[in-house]
Homo-oligomer: A and B are copies of this chain.
Amino acid sequence: MVSEVAMPSRYAHLSIDAERTMSMIEASCAWGSTPDGGMNRLSCNDDDRKVRDWFVDEAKKCGCEIKVDQMGNIFAIRPGQNNNLPPIGLGSHLDTQPTGGRYDGILGVISALEVLKTIHANNVTTYAPLAVVNWTNEEGARFPPAMLCSGVWGGEFSVDYGHSRTDPGGKSLGQELERIGYKGDVPCSYDANPLLAHFEVHIEQGPILDVAKEAIAVVTGVQSMCWYHIDVAGREAHTGTTPMDRRSDALLGAAKIIIETNRFVTEGELAARGARATIAVINSLPQSINTIAGKVKMGLDIRAPADADTAKVEELCRNSFQKIAEEAGLTVAVDRFWTSPALHFDPTMVNCVRESAKSLGCAMELVSGAGHDSVYASRKVPTAMIFVRCRDGISHNPAEYSSPEDCAAGAQTLLGAYLRYDDYVRKSHEGGS
């Protein structure tokens, strides 16, 4: 059921400050910036500590109480009228890829801070408390997997699992949180430290908005995603002494697998329905230029808006890989090691975003192709997202860029969506308006 949501007239005059938003992005990127204009702020390094300190200071200026949980997730909570309710969360992450940009995650946290500042500057008392949330280690670039600490909060991982994740140097996330002073006492779980809902602004990280010339999009959910290990095995043999017709070349088989996989999602109905399949990781063994590859290991990523379509692509791949292997005297093993079903965000939350976007003249709706902290948040609470256009769809790259206008549109949409939802909560509890 989608509830009607409207902007309370008493908030109609509220507007975020675009310049302040950009100044905050600039300020927060002082720690971990790289000469090429990008960012390198791996979770829990010294730069991450500094930007966390800055975040806490900024939030405190707006009357927030700071809660840090066992995974270092920071909840900056501004009281509302009904403080028996959990806060409505506006969150994202401040950590980056090692060669990342200034918007992925950062824009979400800064938009939330901007909403907080706007509300605070206008002496608004919201109904529910407001929490600006910085989730730890969303990228997973230093401590795999991604979305680790929203995942702990959302019940996907245990705290022990989270603490025990290690970086390539052997340091654990638990140790590093302790070192930077952000291993908090608050239990990391929805049950112990709940939110009422979760909104997130994030750059699209794809080219659809840029191609469509739209500033922002309403995100209605997240694609169905599956990850696979593919192991192709043939027979090692000398490249110089083994006739071409007496080979079991694992890499030749792998090449056919890559091409067939691509064909399944670039032709016909699956392509029309937005299915995607990618093989991006490949390594051959024994890595000797004059020994025919005996083994090839690959990673396969299949996505589609509908679960039925990821299943269909998987079936096509499995059948085709088997045929390729048999024809070439190879064996192939396909192991699905991660599955994330299609996610449909809460209709009322999405409607709040939709109505807010509409007020800016934006109507585009997208299904997120990537995972975000909102995926795990949505396991526990009503969740919705706002996508902001990024130039050429480039992300995880120093060239990542969203214009000041688009960043402002994202923050303004967040403000409107959040205030609508807060009013919806008020009505739910008080009745009427």
Contacts and interface: CB of A to CB of B under 8 A. Distances in A.
A261 B265 CA distance: 25
Contact of A301 (B239, B245, B283, B300): B239
A244 B265 contact: yes
Contact of A238 (B258, B271, B274, B369): B369
Contact of A256 (B259, B280, B291): B259
The winner among A204, A242, A262 for most chain B CB atoms within 10 A is A242
Given A205-B241, A259-B252, A303-B239, A280 B276 contact: no
B396 A291 contact: yes
B238 A290 contact: no
B280 A288 contact: yes
Contacts of A244: 262, 265-266, 271, 276
A292 interface: yes
B241 A370 contact: yes
Contact of A396 (B207, B236, B254): B236
A299 interface: yes
B206 A243 contact: yes
Nearest to A238: B205
A225 B240 contact: yes
A125 interface: no
A240 B280 contact: no
A231 B301 CA distance: 23
Q: How large is the interface on A (under 10, 10 to 19, 20 to 34, 35 or more residues)?
A: 35 or more
B259 A303 contact: no
A276 B238 contact: no
Contact of A393 (B241, B281, B287, B396): B241
Interface in A261-309: 262, 265-266, 271, 274, 276, 278-284, 287-293, 296, 299-301, 303
Copies of this chain present: 2
A243 B281 contact: no
A206 B369 contact: no
Contacts of A208: 241, 243
A356 to B, nearest CB: 22
B251 A206 contact: no
Contacts of A290: 227, 278, 280, 301, 370
Interface string A203-245: 0111110010000000000010101000000001111111111
A323 to B, nearest CB: 16
Contacts of A255: 254-256, 258-259
Given A207-B243, A237-B394, A396-B238, A293 B266 contact: no
B282 A289 contact: no
Given A243-B207, A244-B266, A251 B280 contact: yes
Contacts of A373: none
Contacts of A206: 237-238, 240-243
A266 B328 CA distance: 14
A240 B369 contact: yes
A249 B279 CA distance: 9
A236 to B, nearest CB: 7
A156 to B, nearest CB: 17
A266 B241 contact: no
A397 interface: yes
A280 B284 contact: yes
Interface of A: 204-208, 211, 223, 225, 227, 236-246, 249, 251-252, 254-256, 258-259, 262, 265-266, 271, 274, 276, 278-284, 287-293, 296, 299-301, 303, 368-371, 393-397
19 contacts: A205-B240, A206-B240, A206-B243, A227-B289, A237-B395, A238-B395, A239-B303, A240-B276, A240-B301, A240-B303, A243-B274, A249-B262, A251-B258, A252-B258, A281-B293, A282-B293, A283-B284, A289-B299, A289-B301
Ranked nearest first, the 6 interchain pairs of A and B with the lowest CB-CB distance are A206-B241, A240-B369, A255-B258, A241-B369, A289-B299, A255-B255
